Amino acid sequence: MRLQLCCALLLVSWESIAAGDHSRFLASEYLPEFTNANGTSTALQDRLKQGENDATWVLTSSFVVLTMQSGFGLLESGSVEEKFAVNVMMKNVVDVVFGGLSYWMVGYGISHGESFHGILGTSNFLLLEREDLMSASSEKVIDQYSHYIFQFTFAATATTIVSGCVAGRMRFIVYVAFSFVNAVQYGFPAHWIFNEKGWLFKLGFIDFAGDAPVHMLGGIAGAVGSWMVGPREGRFDKTRAGEFELSNPINCIFGLFMLWWGWLGFNCGSTFGITGHKWLVATRVAVTTMNASLAGGIYGMCMSAHCNNGKVKVEDTVNGILASLVSITAGCAVMSPGSALLVGALGAAFSLATNKALLYYCVLDDPVGAVGVHAVGGIWGLLAVGLFTDASLVGNAGPNGLFFGGGLQQLGVQVLGIMVMLCWTTVTSVLIFGVLQQLFGLRVTPKAEAVGADLENHGLETKQLSQMSLDLSVSCGLPPDVEMLLRDEIRRCLAERSLRLENSQSKSICWPEAGAGSKDFVVGSKDFVVGVPSLPLPAFLPTLASTETKKVRFEVESNEFIGLEVGLEVGLKEKFASRLASTGCASAPASIIASL
C-alpha cells in the first residue's frame, strides 16, 4: 500500500512537471510584444521588470508568514502539559506537509480557479495551468506562483489554529486526516471572498487579509472539534485547576513574538506588491497592525492585573495581543491608525471575556484560547470594517463605515458574510469530524491521555513520566513525622518497581470508586485506576487520612500506565476509611508516586 501511494505521488508530480515545463530561458529575444488596455504596444520585458518588486514583496511576506507555524507551535506547546508538547509541535508540521499537499492538489483550484457562478473554482488543480509569458503579462495583481505560495501560507494558518483547540486528547491520525481535508473547507470561502468573481467579493464584502476564511474558519472549526472530542480529563474540576496552568510560559511568550512578526507579513503582504500606490497601503497597514496590537496588549495586562490582585498573567497578555491582531486583520487597509487602537482594545476585551466564560461555565476546553482569539476576534474584526472604514484613505475605494457617515450598507454586507461563515464552518466541521469519528475515533485512549501523546505517538518519554519523585513542601501542612513516613513508604514502593524519582507537578487526587477489580479501568470526572499485579497497601495511608491535609495525589506508573488517586479532603476521614475497607486494604497498584 505504501509503495502504491509513493508511485501515485510520483506520477502526479511528473504530470505536473510535464505540464509546467519551461524549456527556454527568458532571454529578451524571446519576449513577444502585446497590446495593453490603452492600445499601446510595449515589450513584455517591461511588464516583467515591473513585476519584480511585487513578486519579491509577496515571496518575502510568504516566507515570513510561514514562520508563524513556529510561533503557533511554541505557543501551543507551552500551553499544554509537557507530555503533549512534542505532539502538538508535530501537528504543526502536519499542517504544512499534509495540508500543503492537499492545497496544491485541490485547494488552490477551488479558491482561485475559473469561477463557477462565484461559488468555487473549477480549474488549475495541481497547478496544471502553465503560466507562460503572455499570461504573465496580463493585468493580474501578481504572478501565479507568487500568489499561490502566499495563499498556501493562509491555508496552513487556518488549519493550525485547530491544533491548539484539540491539544491533549485528539488522535494524531485524526488530525492528519483533518489537515488534509481542511484545504477543501478553506477553499470555498476563500473563493467567495478573495476571488474577484466570488459572490461575496461582488457584494462588496471587505476582508483585506483573511479574518473570515482564516481566523473565523480556524476558530469555529477548533470549537467544533473541541466540543466533539470532549474536554481533557479533570479540566472542569475546579480543585484541579493547577494541573492545567501553562507548562512553559517562556515558550508562549517566544511564540507570541514570532506570531507578532509574522502578522506584519500576513497583513502587509496582502497588498500583493509595492508598485504604484500599493506601497502607501502597505506602510499604513504596518502601522494599523502595530497600533491594534499595542492596545490589545495594554488591555490584556491591565485586565489581568485587575482580576489577579496585581499579577499580570502570561496567557492574558499573549491572548490580548493576538486577539487584537486578529481584530485588525480584516480592516487594516481601510482604517486609520487611531481607529486601529480602538478596534484592537475591544477585540482583546471580547476575546478574553469569551475564553473566561467558556471555562467558567464549562462549555469548551480550549487549551490555548483559540476560540476567543480567532473566532470572536475574527467576527469583531469583520464587524469593525462596517463601522470604521474610511473611504478617504489612499487605496480604499469602498464606502465609508457607519461611524464615518457611510450608513448601514457596508455593515450589512459584513454581517451577511459573518453569518455565512458561521453556517459554513459549523456544518462542514461537524461533518468532517463526524466522519473521522466513525472512521478512527476522535479521542485518544485513556492510557494515551494519561501517559501523554509524546510517548504514545512519538516514542518520547518526558521527564514528567520517566523520572517521578515526591514533592512534599512545607506549605502542604504535613507534620514532619508524617512527611518522613510518606517519603520512606513511597520510595520503598518505587524501588520495588525500579522507578526513578524526580519532581512531579501533579496537584489533585481522589480515590477510585469502590469495587474496582484488579483488571478494571474506572473513569469518572476525577477518577481512574488500571489494575495490574499489586503490592501491599502502604502503611502510612491510615495515618495520613487523619491529618489536616487538604489534598494528596497518588499516581502510578510501570511498564503499563497505572493510576491510583486518593482523596483526602478535610473531614473525609470516615469516607476514606470506608473506601479502604471496601477494597480490603490489602492491595494497591504496583508502584506509587505521591505529590502534594
Tell me whether residue 214 is in a domain: yes
Across the range 341-349, mean pLDDT stands at 98
C-alpha cell recorded at residue 87: 505532539
Residue 80 DSSP symbol: S
In this predicted structure, what is the pLDDT of residue 42? 57
DSSP 457-521: HH----HHHHB---B--GGG---HHHHHHHHHHHHHHHHHTT-B----------PPPTT--TT-E
* 504 & 567 share domain: yes
For residue 291, CA distances in Å to 110, 203, 254, 344 come to: 35, 29, 20, 8
Look at residue 209 and tell me if it is in a domain. Answer: yes
Same domain, 213 and 287: yes
Question: What pLDDT score was predicted for residue 4?
Answer: 54
Residue 27 in domain? no
Among residues 466, 499, 471, 500, the alpha carbon closest in space to that of 594 is found at 471
Give exposure, 418-434, as e/b (b: 16+ Cβ within 10 Å).
bebbeebbeebbeebbe
Looking at the fold, whether 572 and 446 belong to one and the same domain comes out as: no
Polymer length of the chain: 596
pTM to 2 decimal places:
0.75
Q: Is 403's pLDDT higher than 90? A: yes
Q: What is the pLDDT of residue 557?
A: 35
> Residue 143 has what pLDDT?
84
pLDDT of residue 241: 75
**Total domains, the chain:** 2
The DSSP code for 538 is P
Which of 396, 426, 453 represents a domain boundary (last residue)?
A: 453
Same domain (yes/no): 421, 568: no
Q: Compute CA distances 537 → 141, 498, 565, whole Å.
A: 74, 18, 13
Domain co-membership, 386 together with 471: no
Map 305-368 to HEC letters.
Answer: HHHCCCCCCHHHHHHHHHHHHHHHHCCCCCCCHHHHHHHHHHHHHHHHHHHHHHHHCCCCCCCC
Q: What is the pLDDT of residues 149-201, one digit of tens each?
A: 999 999 999 999 999 999 999 999 999 999 999 999 999 999 999 999 999 99
Bridge partners (DSSP) listed for residue 115: 121
Percentage of the residues of the chain whose pLDDT score is greater than 70: 67
Q: Is 64 left (phi over 0), alpha (psi -120 to 50) or beta?
A: alpha
Output phi, psi for 530, to 5 deg.
-115, 125
549 closest CA partner among 567, 569, 572? 569
Q: HSE (CB half, 13 Å, CA atoms) of 483?
A: 15
Q: Can you spell out the DSSP letters for 541-595? A: HHHHHTS--S--EEEEESSSEE-------TT-HHHHHHHHHHTTTS-B-S--EEE
CATH number of the CATH domain containing 403? 1.10.3430.10
Residue 579, pLDDT above cutoff 60? no
Q: Which secondary structure element, helix H or strand E, spans residue 530, and what is its range?
A: strand 528-530
pLDDT tens digits for 419-434? 999 999 999 999 999 9
Same domain? For 396 and 482 the reply is no
Question: For residues 240 and 526, is the Cβ–Cβ distance under 8 A?
Answer: yes
Q: Which of 453, 482, 505 is the last residue of a domain?
A: 453
pLDDT the model gives residue 548: 35
Q: Contact, 308 vs 365, CB < 8 A? A: no
- pLDDT for the residue numbered 135: 57
Angle between helices 337-360 and 377-388 (to 10 degrees): 150
Band of pLDDT at residue 452, cut at 50, 70 and 90: confident
pLDDT in tens, 495-550: 443 333 233 333 333 333 333 333 332 222 232 222 222 333 344 344 443 333 33
pLDDT bin (cut points 50, 70, 90) of residue 369 is very high
Mean pLDDT of the 12-34 span:
41
Q: What is the pLDDT averaged over residues 226-239? A: 90
What is the extent of the structural domain holding 507?
467-595
Are residues 184 and 326 part of one domain? yes
Average pLDDT, integer, range 312-338: 97
Give a yes or no: residue 43 inside a domain. no
Mapping DSSP to helix (H, G, I), strand (E, B) and coil, where does residue 41 land? Answer: strand
Predicted confidence (pLDDT) at residue 128 exceeds the cutoff of 60:
yes
pLDDT tens-digit profile of 89-113? 999 999 999 999 999 999 999 999 9
Residues 278 and 402 in one domain: yes
| Whether residues 393 and 520 fall in one domain | no
Give 463's pLDDT tier (boundaries 50, 70, 90). Answer: low
Inside any domain, residue 25: no
In a domain, 69, yes or no: yes
Are 377 and 471 in the same domain?
no
- Mean pLDDT of the residues in the chain: 77
Query: For residue 528, what pLDDT is reported?
Result: 27
Considering 395, 430, 453, which residue would you say is the last residue of a domain?
453
Lowest-confidence range among 38-42, 76-80, 192-196, 466-470? 466-470
Residue 314: partners with Cβ closer than 8 Å, 6 or more residues away: 246, 249, 252, 253
On the question of pLDDT at 13 being above 70, the answer is: no
Distance separating alpha carbons of residues 570 and 242, to the nearest angstrom: 19
- Would residue 28 count as lying in a domain? no
The span from the CA of 364 to the CA of 236, in Å, is 9
* Domain-located, residue 196: yes
The pLDDT of residue 345 is: 98
pLDDT in tens, 140-153: 667 889 999 999 99
Give the pLDDT band (50/70/90) at residue 221: very high
Q: Are residues 333 and 385 in the same domain?
A: yes
Runs of H (alpha helix) within 171-229? 172-194, 199-203, 217-229
Q: Of 50, 239, 44, 272, nearest to 141 (Cα)? A: 272
Same domain, 397 and 533: no
